[in-house]
Each structure stands twice: as C-alpha cells, then as structure tokens.
Structure 1
Amino acid sequence: MASLVTFKVRRSEAVLVPPAEPTPRELKPLSDLDDQRGLRFYRSGIHFYKNDPSREGTDPAEVVRAALARALVFYYPMAGRIREEAGGKLVVDCTGEGAMFMEADADVAIDDFGDVLAPPIPGHEMLLCEPEGAGGVVDRPLFYIQVTRLKCRGFTVSFQVNHCMADAAGVVQFMKAIGELARGAAAPAVPPVWARDLLAARRPTCVTRRHPEYEEVADPADDRISPADAQLVRHCLFFGPSEVAALRAGVPARMSRCSRFDMIAALVWKCRTEALQYERENEVRIQFVVNARGKRDPPLPAGFYGNAFAFAVASTAAGELCERPFEYALELVAKAKASVTAEYMQSVADYLVERGRPRFAVARTYLVSDITNAGFGDVDFGWGKGVYGGPPTANLATFHIRSKNAKGEEGILVPMCLPAPAMARFQQEIASNIAKMRTILDHEAIQAH
C-alpha cells in the first residue's frame, strides 16, 4: 500500500534562478482579493511523470530549470519579492532576484506509491522545496520548485507558490508556460496578464452583500476538529460513474441541472457533520470556492493569473442538516453558489478593504475547492502528461480532484481528514447514503422495463 512507502531523498543545495533576460524593475500592487490575510501562505502542488525512453540521457532537472528561467521573463513579477506598505497593502517589487530551484534524487519508483496516487502523497515533505526563513510572505521568494529524479527514471516536479500571487488556475497557467518552453516554444501560448486593478475595491468602498465567509459562527472554539489534533486520520473517497449516477437518482426533478460538484459536496458535508456529532443547535457551514472567471462583464482577460475567486457559504443547524434528506443539503449548496455574482465579487473586495483584510472563518466549516478543471493533469515538460497532478496533501480543507480508480474508471477523488472515531462514522454514513440512492436507481430501472 502507498501509505507504507518509505524512501530516502538526496537533495542538492537550493539556488535562485533569475529570469533568462533583463526584466522591468517596478512596483506592482496586488489586488484587494490577492492580499487578504487568509491567502498569505504558500500553497503546494506536485506532478509525477513516468520515464519516456525517447528522452534517454535528458535530465529533467536541467530542462525544467532552463524553462523556469525563460518563463520568468514573461512572468517577471514571480521573480520579485512582496513588500508591505502602509495599511497592510501588499505590492510586488519586481526585483528580478528569481525563484528558488532545487534538484534531488529519490530511491523510489512511481509504482511503489500504489495503483492510485492521491493525497497525502507519502514522503511529500522530501519532494517539496520548502520556503526557508521566518514565516509570512514578505521579502521571500514567491515560487519554489523541486525536480526529483526517481529510480524508475520517472521524476516529480513540485512547487510552492505564494498564494497572494496566483489561484489554482493562475499557477497552472504558469506551470503550463514552463512546460511549453521546456518543449521548445518561443513563448507561452497564453501571454500572462497582470490586470490586478480589475479586482480592486471601489473608491469609496460600497459593501452590498453579507459576507459570512469572514464572520465567525457563535462560539467558534466549540468545534469537534482541530488541525492540532495528532489523532487525525486520512481517507480518500472516490466518486466514479456508478456513485455519481446514484447521487443523481437522489436529486429532485426541480434540481436536475445541479452539477456533480454540488451533489458530491452536499453529500460529504452532510455525512461529515453527522460523523462529527455536533450539537443539534450548532451552526455548521460549507464553504467553497467560486471562480470569478466568467462571472464578470466584461470578463477577466485571458492570461490573468491572479486570485479570481470568492467563497460561497451555506449554513444551517447541525440537527437540520443531519435529519433532513440529502436534497436539503443540495439546495443549500446550489443557492450559495448562485449567490456569488459579479456584484458579490466586487462587494468582497470592498468588504476586505473596509475590515482590514480579515482571514476567512473556519470553525465548524467544511472547506472544499473544486480543482477538477484547473488543468493540473495537463502540465507537460516534454515527457507527456503526468500520472498525477494536484495537491500533495489535504488537511481540514479539501479538494475535488480528477482521478482514476484501480479499475481505470474516471472519477472524482475527495481526500478527507477527521478524528479516528469520526472517520469510521463518516465512511459508514457515505456508504449508507449511496446505498439508499442506489436503491432508488434500481427501482427506476425496474420501472423502466
């Protein structure tokens, strides 16, 4: 099993890779969505690639390092450093100092990780180039990348990126650009666009919506799960064609247009809440990312790589969520998603400026992000598409990840992290709910004949 994999990694010294050509020296303000305090950290990703016999004798570390230097010419803010100005406003000082690069060798093969790669990737800490020095995001490299050669002649490419610089779509755009240049392109297919002013707060600000994503529930310390809990266990759910069909059978006709994300997120929220056994009157929430790309008129320009999302929030009493049918949770999720309009996005920026760029609330909240369409699996450095591309781990916040099961079926992977007793209840609740919906599906099939 992948969880039993142990291996050693021999790393070289990390080095700064500056842009391959001179770049502009200027200050570029981040947007009022970019510099909220909840995004002032480094988010990570990892890609696994199998050996390609046609690339025999080619060192992937050399290829990626050279392509990174060229990509930083186009994405030159990524080679700079963040500074904090008056009022906590963040700007990028485009110094051209560069991104941090590390190469390494590991005595492990891709197949040793098991049939299906999924978070948490065993030993991922050794496969990531970690930001050095004190915490925070000011005066540190904005991008860290590590290429690790494996004994099967495959390799991994992992990154850590300052979240203030890019969301999932933005960092994938940057990684794809590195891949295109590694494969011989003269320039990225999609030229990068800064345009952070398009997501700035109004002057004067005008908050027109309520933003519960930044408002704590009552008694936030009264939670049943904490990242400090050493007993947390991890499990990955897989929703393949049969599971999705079963969920669809539980959807009322009036909601027939709901998405796969809505269905899976609603079920997991409901079952997670049941498993954590909150008090009936406790407010519980689901909080998820809604992309602003496509929510604006005019839309954000192609090539925009900043943070372009808001958090949608649905909330209810734990007793209501657990005791009412699946469609109740589904309606709450769909309504929350529909509430994130272009005006909502603008109101978020105004709210953040008015309130000093607060962190988003997390107590009694299931946080989930759909990265199935971000394109992590499409990054190609010349060895073809990877066998896995996505987050190396998932803790209290989780993801919907495009994946395949051991049978080769396409589906959605949802990593989950819970205290051990709650995890056992959670898995039982998921199985019970899906079995109940499969009964509906079977009944409909019988009726059709």
Structure 2
Amino acid sequence: MVKETTEVHGGDVTILTSAMTTVAPALPLQEHRLPLSNLDLLLPPIDVGVFFCYLHPAPTAAVLKEALAKVLVAYYPLAGEVVANADGEPEVLCSGRGVDFTEATTEDAELRELRLGMVDEGVEMLVPAKKAGVICVQVTKFRCGGAVVGCTFDHRVCDAYSFNMFLVAWAAASRGGSAPPAPSFRRSLVAPRDPSPRTHSTDALIDRLFSPLSSAPPPPPASVAATAVNRIYHIAAADVKALQARAGPGRTKLEAFTAHLWQLSSRAASEHQSLCCMGMVVDGRARMSPDGAMEAYFGNVLTITYGVIGAGDLRRRMALADVADDVHRWVREAATGDHFWGLVDWVEALRPKPAQARAYLGGTGGAEATSCIVSSGMGFPIAEADFGTGAPAFASYHFPWPAGAAYVMPMPSARGDGDWVVYVHAAPELVKVMEEEHSVFKALENSYVFG
C-alpha cells in the first residue's frame, strides 16, 4: 500500500493507494499499428489531465472498471501504447494492453475540505501521472462517501474534443444506456491532398504559426519551470457577458476573455519583456468538413494561432475592444478549411522532421515576449459525465505542462448557470495580476462548489 500526503485547510490528508490494476477491453483485439495523422504529429509528447468530483453516492471503482472494459472495445487505441515507427515518428500500437487503473482512499478527509482552487495543494495527487499506455485513471474515495475520478491522456493521440467523446461513451456504459455513435479512426479524413493545391497566403500563415524543428525543442528556462503555479478560478456569467459587451459587437465570449487576459499579461510582463504573445487553440473539424463528416473523428484537429502586441501599448493605449478586434482577426485567419488542409500538406512535406507552434515560444518575440495560450473547454460534457450516480458537483482540466508559456482553459461550471471555471497554469506574476483584478477572476471557494 502506497501513502501520499497533501495539505488541506492547514491539515494533512493522507491518500492511500490500495489497488493498481490494468483494465483491458472486454473483447480481444487483433494487434496492429495505427499511424498518427499529420495533425497529431504537431503535438509534443505531453499529457493532459481532467478530474470530476462526485458527492455521495459516488460511482464505485467496480462499476467504472466494468464500463471501461466495455467502452475500450470501440475506443481500442486508448488501450494501446505510443511507440516509434521506423522513421522515429510516434504511432499507436493497438495491443489491447489496457488502461492502468488506480483505486485510492483517504483516511481522514471529506471531499468538501479539498482546496480545489489551489491545485498544487489539493488536486495534484487526485489526477494520476501516466507511466505507460495512452490513458490512465484514478478513483479516490473520501470518508464522506464522495469520490474524485481523475484521468490523464496522451495529447498526441487525441484532443479534448475526442476525449470528451470517450468520456460520454464511458459514462453511458456505466449507466447501462445505449452507446453513443462509434468513434472514427479513419486517417483518410485528414490525409494530404494529391496534388497539393497550396496557396501563397496559406503557406505564409503556416510559416508564421509553425516552424520546423531540427532537434528537440529547448526546455523552458529553469526559473519558469520552477515557479509556475496552477490555479482554478470561477467567473460569474454576468461578468462574462460584461466582457463580451465591452469587446464590441460581433465578438464572442471567448474572444473577449482572451483579449482581457492579453491585457492582464502585459501588466505581468517584466521590464525585459517588451512584447506580449497571446495564442488560441482552434478546432478544425467543421472547417475541414462542413458536412459534418468529421463529427465522430477521433484524433487531433487543431491549430494554434496567435498575435503579438507591445506590452506598453496593451497597458496604456489599447481599449478592450481594440484588443478584441485583433484577437478576432488572427482567429478568423486560421479558422478556415484552407488553413487546416494546407497544414496537413505542410507537415507531409516536412516529415519525418518534427515541427512546433511558434506561440509556445512567444511568436516572433523569443525571450523578449511573454506567452499565453487559451484553449477552450466550453464543449466539456459535464452534465453527461454521469456514471450512474448523478452528474459531478465539479469538474476541471489539469494541465501543468512543461513549456514556458502560460496555459489557460475555461470551461462551463458544473452549476449549469452560465458561470465559467478557468484552469490556469502560469507564472506567479500573471497569477498575482489575475487575482488583483477582482471584477473577473474569482477565487474558487469550497462554498461555491459544494454550497
């Protein structure tokens, strides 16, 4: 039995790992390899976590494991592992090895005592660190009868849209309900065009957003890796609407939020950082296939677009509406079918050399720029994450990624009232500015989550 300890409200909470098993698909699988698509190959080897908090009565490990075995029949790549092919590129070995599943308990804590907003103190040990395979799961039971279900997945194999499909199917299997539509792993849906009708404008945009890598990307500065912190905040629905109104007509809530965060980033910039880079992850499914053919596609269909503005301009001269106009412009440039198809072709011409998104490194600013990436989790299926005992009381992403840029992920609150929950991985300077700006980012108190 393994013991881990974390601090909750000034006291120690001991988490006991009582069982570690591997859940294999309920039906046997013929071993084979599934190549990653060109869009998958743009992702570095990073893992993404997500967790759900359930009050009593919470789903049991036995029910979760039985349903997981069933759903892995359709989602068989998740029961495999990522290996290298002859060219050194990653691909999925669909071996049916299964999903590592950890059962844990707490000796002395109730779920309501967790400091969910202070991720590094109250959540870190509830989301498993993946050691092998494509995904892993941990279920932690609390003295009150509540539980936390944490999952971690390899981002190279799927994006949040895809993992949401899996979560919905897993929950449906736990409830004994009818299975959702099966996922599609057809790489032909994102295959390179032949011949490749690439335009000059599309190539110029791709060259601005991505760059080839002759070797592995440099690690973030030691100071960034050592000091980055993780927080979860909530934003009232009225404050989200107010931001959107200030951003001007025709601007989405996410564009307004991103513009506001861009301005806050400028206030957190050091005297040596004259530029502020703000990026956004854009999904391309509807852009590549407007007829809906890619709705069930499982994999990454993402690009990362960005803009760079001088920190002084953001702080002193630009109104939120002006910043939102800039966000809208560079998002619109990348949110096209031409861009995504051109990106598929560009990676094909580059292979097997890897590439990276320039937004991770501050766009064109390098060390002179701050960098922050916004990835929308507004499609997160909280209400559908019912494993037979009801919807979760709280859910959030957990993504303490190793890059130097900040990463911010807004998603709907489990309360279903239009509020947002926002996961933040950022330098302390940016977190300080966000917490001083009380009109938007609110500390996540336990009373907000559990009443």
The verdict on how the C-alpha distance between 1:283 and 1:75 changes in structure 2, with shifts beyond 3 A counting, is: same
The equivalent position to 2:355 in structure 1, one of 355, 358, 367, is 358
- Residue identity opposite 1:250 in structure 2: R
Query: Corresponding residue for 2:28?
Result: 22
Compute the displacement of 1:12 (Å). 2.8
Q: Distance in 1 between matches of 2:9 and 2:398?
A: 13
Compute the displacement of 1:160 (Å). 1.1
Partners of 1:400 and 1:414 within 8 A in 2: yes
What whole-Å deviation, never above 9, does each CA across 1:331-379 have from its counterpart, x for those lacking one? 1111111112011111222233334231223232211111022214531
Query: Corresponding residue for 2:192?
Result: 201
Compute the displacement of 1:152 (Å). 1.0
Compute the displacement of 1:413 (Å). 2.8
How many residues get paired? Answer: 406
- Residue identity opposite 1:110 in structure 2: L
Partners of 1:321 and 1:328 within 8 A in 2: no
- Residue identity opposite 1:151 in structure 2: R
The equivalent position to 2:328 in structure 1, one of 325, 330, 334, is 334
The SS at the match of 1:35 is helix
Q: Distance in 1 between matches of 2:194 and 2:275?
A: 35
Partners of 2:241 and 2:253 within 8 A in 1: no
Alignment RMSD: 3.0
The equivalent position to 2:266 in structure 1, one of 273, 292, 295, is 273
Compute the displacement of 1:233 (Å). 4.8
What whole-Å deviation, never above 9, does each CA across 1:223-271 have from its counterpart, x for those lacking one? 99953233x455544331332343234234xxx1211111111101111
Query: Corresponding residue for 2:226?
Result: 229
Query: Corresponding residue for 2:419?
Result: 411
Compute the displacement of 1:168 (Å). 0.7
The equivalent position to 1:189 in structure 2, one of 180, 197, 220, is 180
Query: Corresponding residue for 2:61?
Result: 61
Q: Distance in 2 between matches of 1:290 and 1:265?
A: 13
The verdict on how the C-alpha distance between 1:83 and 1:74 changes in structure 2, with shifts beyond 3 A counting, is: same
Stretches of structure 2 that go unaligned for 5 or more consecutive residues are 1-6, 362-369, 442-451
Partners of 1:404 and 1:410 within 8 A in 2: no
Query: Corresponding residue for 2:47?
Result: 42
1:251 aligns with 2:259: no
TM-score normalised over the length of structure 1: 0.81
Q: Distance in 1 between matches of 2:275 and 2:211?
A: 12
Stretches of structure 1 that go unaligned for 5 or more consecutive residues are 133-139, 435-449
- Residue identity opposite 2:61 in structure 1: A
Partners of 2:171 and 2:384 within 8 A in 1: no
Q: Which moved more, 1:63-72 or 1:291-300?
A: 291-300
After the TM superposition, which residues 385-424 of structure 1 pair with which residues of structure 2 at under 5 Å, given as runs? Answer: 385-392=391-398, 394=400, 396-403=406-413, 410-424=418-432
> What percent identity do the matched residue pairs reach?
22
1:177 aligns with 2:169: yes
The SS at the match of 1:44 is strand
> Which structure has greater strand proportion?
2
Compute the displacement of 1:109 (Å). 1.6
Query: Corresponding residue for 2:388?
Result: 382
1:129 aligns with 2:124: no
Compute the displacement of 1:279 (Å). 5.1
Partners of 1:279 and 1:318 within 8 A in 2: no
Query: Corresponding residue for 2:119?
Result: 120
What whole-Å deviation, never above 9, does each CA across 1:131-155 have from its counterpart, x for those lacking one? 23xxxxxxx4111111111111111
TM-score normalised over the length of structure 2: 0.81
